[in-house]
Amino acid sequence: MSTEPGLHLSALLARIPLVQAMQLRLHAWDSGQLVMTAPLGPNVNDKGCAFGGSLASVMTLAGWGLVELAMHARGLDADIFVGESTVRYLQPVWDDFKAVATLDEGATWEAFFDDWARHAHARAQVLVTVPGPGDKPAATLQARFVAKRRKA
Amino acid sequence: MSTEPGLHLSALLARIPLVQAMQLRLHAWDSGQLVMTAPLGPNVNDKGCAFGGSLASVMTLAGWGLVELAMHARGLDADIFVGESTVRYLQPVWDDFKAVATLDEGATWEAFFDDWARHAHARAQVLVTVPGPGDKPAATLQARFVAKRRKA
């Protein structure tokens, strides 16, 4: 993991109280994927497995972080919002978990940065997966993130 | 709001640490809808408006609570899981917020409880809205909840 982007993202995350409550950590990042981790303890539900809201939050933050760092790596500064997202909860999660974010099938950074250069506005379709036991994911999120010029 | 169902739900919510961190409150419930509220402070993001993960969590919990209390009101006990959900983030939320859960268009409690009676397994399609300024929602969630026989 490149340290400086990690510090940039961690500084942003530190401003979100729920991130502290979830004990979310940036685990790894390169231009292709971003991985965040969270312990089960603070993210448990009434049934003893991971709370759906925590899974959705961690996956949303991993997707947001992927876009945030891709822009930061190119020296670009933007407000990045989640627009629409679909979460599939496929298996209960009984342990600490991680969320792995990549661009979704068919999306490219070339198209994203081309839009940004033309319009100072761009959309990225992101896929985030929480791996489960074996090869099957425990949860997935597909989301559209929108980068907008930062308000002064 | 009927007090006893409120206590039942509050006892379940108290077992979810993130609910405490979000300062989520059950505001009102009847057989048709359930309303939860949350203050902006603990749910803010790096931009000063409501964190998408908090909005998704509060909406998911409101939908889950609606199904939980509908079953509880009939003396039924089940584990209720969220299966798949789609969130639309339509406007930033700059203040304390509420989430209003109802059955989604076309879904009925009659069909839900008929399935439960036959199979001890049933699905409810739920719509949750966070009202925004004016008549437009700030965010919506459409989700499928699954009730399963509780594990011993």
Contact between B59 and B130 (Cβ < 8 Å): yes
Which H or E run includes B87? strand B79-89
Residues of A in contact with B65 (CB under 8 A): none
pLDDT of residue A71: 94
Given A46, A83, A89, which is nearest B82 (Cβ)? Answer: A89
Q: Residue A34 is encoded by which pair of tokens? A: 């971003």
CB contact under 8 A, B86 and A85: yes
CB-CB contact of B75 with B4 (8 Å): no
What is the distance between the alpha carbons of residues A100 and A117, in angstroms, rounded to a whole number? Answer: 27
State what percent of residues in chain A have pLDDT above 90: 82
What is the percent of chain A where pLDDT is above 70? 97
Partner-chain contact A45 B16, CB within 8 Å:
yes
pLDDT, position A37:
97
Q: How distant is the alpha carbon of residue B131 from its chain centre?
A: 14
Q: Is the pLDDT of residue A3 over 80?
A: no
Q: How high is the pLDDT of residue A1? A: 44
Which of B110, B150, B102 has its CA nearest to residue B128? B102
pLDDT band at B1 (very low <50, low <70, confident <90, very high): very low
Q: Do B85 and A87 touch (CB under 8 A)?
A: yes
In this prediction, residue A8 carries a pLDDT of 86
Beta carbons of A42 and B17 less than 8 angstroms apart: yes
Asked if A56's CB is within 8 angstroms of B85's CB, the reply is yes
How far does B101 lie from chain A, in Å, by closest CA? 16
Token pair in block for residue A125: 């379709």
The residues, ordered by sequence, that sit 6+ positions from A134 with a Cβ below 8 Å of its Cβ are none
Domain that holds residue B42: 3-148
Q: What is the Cα–Cα distance from B120 to B116, expressed in whole angstroms?
A: 4
pLDDT of residue A5: 76
The domain that holds B44 is classified in CATH as: 3.10.129.10
* CA-based nearest distance A108→chain B, Å: 23
Position B152 scores a pLDDT of 62
Q: Which residues does A128 contact at the CB level (< 8 Å), separation at least 6?
A: A59, A60, A62, A63, A99, A100, A101, A102, A140, A141, A142, A143
Token pair, residue B62, equals 């409101």
| Contacts with A44 from chain B: Cβ below 8 Å | 15-17
Give strand ranges (E) for chain A. Answer: 25-29, 34-38, 78-89, 97-103, 121-131, 137-149
Q: How many domains does chain A have?
A: 1
> Per residue in B50-84, pLDDT tens?
999 999 999 999 999 999 999 999 999 999 999 99
Are the beta carbons of A86 and B86 separated by less than 8 Å?
yes
Q: Where does the pLDDT of residue B2 fall: very low under 50, low under 70, confident under 90, or very high at 90 and above?
A: very low
Distance CA A114, CA A111 (A): 5
Cβ distance A89 to B81 less than 8 Å, yes or no, reads yes
**Does pLDDT of B37 surpass 70?**
yes
Average confidence (pLDDT) over A24-32 = 91
More confident residue, A34 or A6: A34
Q: ipTM for the complex?
A: 0.88
B99-148: pLDDT as tens digits: 999 999 999 999 999 999 999 999 999 999 999 988 799 999 999 999 99
The verdict on a CB contact (< 8 Å) between A88 and B84 is: yes
Contacts of B87 in chain A (CB under 8 A): 56, 84-87
pLDDT, residue A152, reads 62
pTM of the model: 0.92
Comparing CB atoms, the residue among A16, A45, A84 nearest residue B87 is: A84
Q: How far apart are CA B90 and CA A85, in angstroms?
A: 12
B29, B6 contact by CB (below 8 A): yes
pLDDT averaged over every residue in chain A: 93
Residue carrying the six token digits 């409880």:
B113
